[in-house]
Structure 1
C-alpha cells in the first residue's frame, strides 16, 4: 500500500472505532479500545498484549493494554450491540448462525478450561470452548455475540464439580451466578440478547451439535424463528405421510392413545429407502478456487434428497408434549460418488420451499468456518493469554470488531456484480 492509502485506511479505522466504541463510558476506554484494535490489525504472528504493545510504538503501553482488556469493568454487550447494528445494514443477514470453537490451552488456570471435545482439534483435549452467534448472508458474515462455555466440572452445584476447578473461580473472576448451561441454551440466550438489540432475523442455522437437541428446535419455534439445522444420521423419524392410529375402543376405561403403526426409522434409513433416484443436482455457490463457474471459480455442487418427515423419539415428545409429530423437511446430501448419503439437515421451512433454497441455506454455515479461520489466523482470536472471565469476553469482542472492519473493507472494494469469497 502507498503512504496515502495507509493514511486513508487509518482514517477509516478511526471513524469505525469511534462509532462502535461510543458505547464505552469513559474517554480512556475509547482510546485503549482503538489502540487494541490497531494492535489486532498489525502484522505479526502473536496478537497477545505484549507483542502487540511492542509493535504499536509510542501507543504500546503494555500495562495499560493489559489492564484495559483484563480488569477494566466495561460490559462487552454494549460494544457487541453497536457492532451488530453496524453490520446488520452492511450484511443484510439471511440468518443467525450459531457455532462453537475451541481455544486450546496447555495449562489449567484459565477460566473454564477443561478436557472436552472441540471440533477445532477433532478430539477431546485441554481447551476452552466459545459459542458464537453470527449475522450471515451469501456474501458476508460477522460474529456479534459470544458465550464462554462453563463445563460441569467448574460448577459448584453440579454433581461432576471438580474441587480444584471450583476453587479457581474467584481467581478467574467468574461471577457467582454463572453455572453450567448447555451450549444449545447459550445459543438461545444469544438469540434473545441479539433480538433485544433490535436485530430481527427470522431464520437460525446450526450444526448437529445444536440441531440434535429437540428443546433447542422448540425454543426457536417459540421465538418465531424458522431453522435449518444439521442432525445426526441416527435421529429417528416417521415418514411425512404417517398418521397415528388408535386401537379399537371397547367403551370401558381410558381410551387408548393413538400410535404410529410402524416403528420410527433413522433419517439415514429413510433417505436410503427413497433411493439414489430421488437425489437432485444443486449448485449452491461459486467457490474461491479457480474453476469453470461463470465467475471463473470452482462450482460448489452436489446431489441432494429432500423428504417430508416427522421427527420422533422421546426427546421430541417431551419437548412438544404432542401425540402427532410435527412435519418438517429432511435434507440429505448424497454425492454421486458415494454409496450412501453423507450429511443431513432438518428444517421447518414451509412445504413449498424449493430444494435449491434449502441447500443454499444449509450450506450457509460455511461462512462461519471462514470467520473462525480469519479471526484465528490473522486477528489473534486464540492468542489471549489472560486467565479471567472478563478478559476472555473482552478479547473475543474486540477481535470481532477487527474482523468486522476487515469485512466492511472487503465489501467496499468488491466488484458490484460478484459476491466476495
Structure 2
C-alpha cells in the first residue's frame, strides 16, 4: 500500500483502503463492504462504503501506480499486453452499465455488467493493469436520467469494446510499458482500427479472428476467407508446437502460417489445428521484425493468462463480490481488487525464483496457497464474541428494515 498511499490525502480513507485491500486478501467468504468492515473490526460498514462512493481519491491515479508497480516487479522486454472482457452477473436494472447481454462468464445472455480489462504478462508473471466498464449505447449512454442516477460522468461516452481496448493499450504503451506484443480474442482481432494503430506504433500482435475473415494471399492478389486459405495448405506445412503449459501439461497443437505480404515478415495468417478433433482457430499477426513460428505460437498461448487472472481475481480477491451501483464505485472496487491480485502475483513471482522441476517437491507456491499462508500467519486477528454478535444483529436489523420497505412499496403499488 505504500506505493499508492499518497493518493489518499486524508488519513481516514488511507487507513480504510489499507483495511479494504487486507480484507480482499483474507479468507472471508464474501468480500463486499459489509464483510470487509466486519473483517477489519469496524462496527458499521459506513467507512468502507464511503471509500467506494464519496471519499476523495482518484481510482485512475491508483491504477497508474498499480501499473507502474507491476512493470517494476514483472516488466520484461518480451512482455505481452492481453485484452479481454469478463462479465459480472447482476440483479435489477440500476447498476451502471447493466443490461441483458451475452457474457462468457455465464456462456449465454444474462443480466450483467461487462468489464474490459488489460493484463500484462511476461516470463516473470502476470497481472491486471487496467479496466473499463462497458456502457451499452441505447440503454445507458442515451438515457440521461439513468446516467445521472448511476453517477456516470459526461465525458463517459459510448465506446465499443475494441475502442475501450485501444484506449487502454495506448495508455499503457505511452506510459512506457515494455511490451513487444499485443494479443486478444476475436472481439478485438476483428477490429481493423486496433490492428492499424498497433502497426503504426511498430508493436507486434497476434489477434484471433473468425474463420470468415477475408485475407489477401499471393502477394495480395487473391482475396479469400481464412478457412479457405487454410484448407489449401499441404500436410507438410503443419508443425507440432506447444502453446505453453496447461493444467494437464503442454498444450500441443498443429500450427501453420501463411504470408500475407510477399516477404513473410510483416503480416501473417496463423492457423491452429487441434490434433484430436481437427478444429481450427485463426489469428492475424503483425511482426515488425523477422519472427519464427514458435514465437507467434507462444504469444497466441499467452492469451490464456488473462483468463487465469480473471479466475484468480474472482476466486481469491473478490473481483466480482461488490454490491455497488455507482459508476465511480465500480471502478474503485475493481481497482483495489486488481491491487490485491498484484500482491499475490508478486509473491508468486518471488516464490518461482526457487527452482523446481520433475521429481522435486514441493511445487512452487500458488496464489491460493500464498493467500492461505498470509491469513494463517499474518492477517488473521481474533475477534471478540461481542463483535461477532454485534455484526449478526446489525445485519439482521438492516435486512429487516429493507424487507419492511420492500413490502410497503409493493403495497403502495
- Fold match (TM-score > 0.5): yes
Q: How does 1:142-161 map to 2 (within 5 A)?
A: 142-156=127-141, 161=142
Equivalent in 195, 209, 214 of residue 236 of structure 1: 214
CA distance in 1, matches of 2:43, 2:291: 54
State yes or no: 1:224 paired with 2:209. no
Cα RMSD between the aligned structures?
Answer: 2.2
Partner residue in 2 for 1:308: 259
Alpha-carbon displacement from aligned partner over 1:63-95 (angstroms, at most 9, x marks no partner): 011000122232111111111111112212411
Q: Find the aligned partners of 1:365 and 1:346 in 2 and give their Cα distance.
A: 14
The alpha-carbon distance between structure 1 residues 225 and 26, as it changes in their structure 2 partners (threshold 3 A), is: farther
TM-score, with structure 2 as normaliser: 0.81
Match of residue 105 from structure 1 = 90
Aligned equivalent of 2:371: none
TM-fit CA distance, 1:329: 1.2
> What is the match of residue 8 of structure 2?
24
Find the aligned partners of 1:192 and 1:27 in 2 and give their Cα distance.
34
Match of 1:338 among 277, 285, 293: 277
Q: 1:330·1:346 contact (CA, 8 Å) conserved in 2?
A: yes
Distance 1:418 1:209 in 2: 37
Query: Contact 1:24 / 1:79 at 8 angstroms: preserved in 2?
Result: no
Once the two structures are TM-superposed, the CA of residue 20 in structure 1 deviates from its matched residue by: 2.9
Q: Structure 1 CA distance, aligned partners of 2:284 and 2:234?
A: 19
Q: Deviations over 1:130-188 (max 9, x none)?
A: 011111114421111111011112455xxxx4x5xx42211111002212101111111
Give the CA deviation at 1:395.
0.4
TM-score, normalised relative to structure 1: 0.79
Work out whether 1:215 is the aligned partner of 2:225: no
Among 312, 324, 331, the residue aligned to 1:386:
324
Describe the SS at the equivalent of 1:167.
Answer: helix
Structure 2 residue runs without a partner (length 5+): 358-363, 367-413
User: Residue 236 of structure 2 corresponds to which residue in structure 1?
Assistant: 277
Distance 2:5 2:25 in 1: 16
Distance change in 2, residues 1:127/1:237 (3 Å): same
Distance 2:2 2:197 in 1: 36
Decide which of 45, 48, 51 is 1:65's aligned counterpart: 48
Distance 1:26 1:95 in 2: 37
Alpha-carbon distance in 1 for matches of 2:216, 2:170: 32
SS in 1 for 2:101: strand
Match of 1:256 in 2: none
Once the two structures are superposed, residues 263-320 of structure 1 have per-residue CA deviations (whole angstroms, 9 ceiling, x without a partner) of: x21111111110333210112323344xxxxxxxx22211111111269xxxxxxxxx
Q: Deviations over 1:170-214 (max 9, x none)?
A: 111100221210111111111222234332423211111000111
Question: Contact between 1:117 and 1:125, CA under 8 Å: does it hold in 2?
Answer: yes
How many pairs were matched up?
Answer: 355
Q: Does 1:349 align with 2:268?
A: no
1:8-407 pair list within 5 angstroms: 17-57=1-41, 59=42, 61-93=44-76, 94-156=79-141, 161=142, 163=143, 166-239=144-217, 241-243=218-220, 260=221, 262=222, 264-289=223-248, 298-309=249-260, 328-339=267-278, 341-350=279-288, 352-407=290-345
